């Protein structure tokens, strides 16, 4: 049996960083839901936000832990995941800079419904529950932005549920179609072992599915990128259509 992830104690050493890559206003501009906030609200958030740093693999919050606040990722990558009694983990969300996480728990219940951990060295802006709820209550723009984040999260989970009913290859095809594309190229934001967890499969099954897409002439490798050679066929595979 695999032990559940343990939470490292917060310390000034683990949270100390010599360089702050982005200010809170700069990070907010990365978010499609927060970028339009008035400067007065951004200043109010900045006055209560606490910059925190986490090492790769460090737990940020645990499932069942009392909700203390909300996080805005400034640097690095964070994964949100659940763990069953045997220790098997399922990644349900990869958080990128500019994204909020832990926000749903502010409204649904008084405990986080999942774990979160840093995939790489990461920094977050943390706002305590009482402060963010006060700002949401007083500012309709922030309230609407929060609703947008929650609606987007609901859409993401609906997509996850739909993908979980498919075989590995359609799940992988759908995931590739969701990634930002440049010149027909996409870059996996996480290592394949992490991606396998996200797609609820094994690294071996993921590798076979990727190899099948290559054999079909749909994608190819140009490390660190995956090149989409035939987007139409990739969309058909994502819909579960056979070759």
Which tens digits make up the pLDDT trace of 39-83?
999 999 999 999 999 999 999 999 889 888 999 999 999 999 988
Q: Report whether pLDDT(190) > 60.
A: yes
pTM: 0.62
Average pLDDT of the chain, as a whole number: 83
pLDDT of res. 14: 44
Average pLDDT over residues 81-92: 81
pLDDT of res. 19: 57
**Cα within 13 Å of Cα(239), Cβ side:** 8
Where b means 16+ CB within 10 Å and e means fewer, 215-243 reads eeebbeeeeebbebeeeebbebbbeeeee
Q: Which of 77-81, 171-175, 197-201 has the lowest mean pLDDT?
A: 197-201
Q: Domain coordinates of the chain in residue numbers?
A: 24-163, 167-238
User: What SS3 state is found at 61?
Assistant: strand
Q: Report whether pLDDT(242) > 90.
A: no
Kindly state the tokens that stand for 118. 């840093």
Reported confidence tier of residue 220, pLDDT bands at 50, 70, 90: very high
Pick 18 or 26 by higher pLDDT.
26
Reported confidence tier of residue 90, pLDDT bands at 50, 70, 90: confident
pLDDT of res. 163: 57
Highest mean pLDDT among 44-58, 83-97, 179-193: 44-58
* Architecture in CATH for domain 167-238: Orthogonal Bundle (1.10)
pLDDT of res. 9: 46
C-beta separation of 146 from 135 below 8 A: no
Q: Report whether pLDDT(2) > 70.
A: no
DSSP state at residue 114: S
Reported confidence tier of residue 5, pLDDT bands at 50, 70, 90: low
Q: Which CATH number fits domain 24-163: 2.40.30.60, 2.60.120.10, 3.40.50.2300, 2.30.130.60?
A: 2.60.120.10
């Amino acid at each position: 049996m695999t032990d559940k992830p343990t939470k490292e104690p917060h310390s000034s050493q683990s949270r100390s960083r010599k360089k702050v890559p982005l200010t809170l206003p700069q990070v907010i501009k990365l978010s499609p839901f927060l970028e339009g906030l008035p400067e007065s609200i951004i200043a109010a958030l900045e006055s209560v936000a606490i910059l925190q740093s986490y090492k790769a693999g460090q737990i940020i919050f645990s499932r069942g832990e009392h909700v203390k606040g909300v996080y805005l990722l400034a640097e690095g990558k964070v994964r949100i995941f659940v763990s069953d009694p045997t220790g098997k983990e399922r990644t349900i969300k990869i958080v990128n800079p500019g994204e909020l996480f832990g926000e749903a728990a502010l409204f649904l219940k008084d405990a986080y419904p999942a774990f979160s951990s840093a995939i790489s060295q990461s920094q977050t802006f943390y706002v305590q529950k009482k402060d963010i709820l006060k700002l949401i209550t007083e500012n309709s723009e922030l309230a609407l932005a929060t609703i947008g984040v929650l609606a987007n999260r609901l859409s993401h989970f609906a997509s996850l549920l739909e993908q979980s009913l498919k075989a590995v290859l359609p799940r992988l095809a759908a995931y590739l179609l969701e990634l930002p594309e440049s010149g027909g190229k996409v870059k996996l934001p996480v290592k394949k072992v992490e991606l396998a967890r996200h797609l609820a499969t094994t690294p071996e099954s993921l590798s076979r599915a990727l190899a099948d897409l290559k054999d079909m002439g749909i994608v190819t490798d140009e490390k660190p990128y995956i090149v989409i050679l035939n987007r139409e066929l990739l969309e058909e595979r994502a819909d579960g259509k056979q070759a």
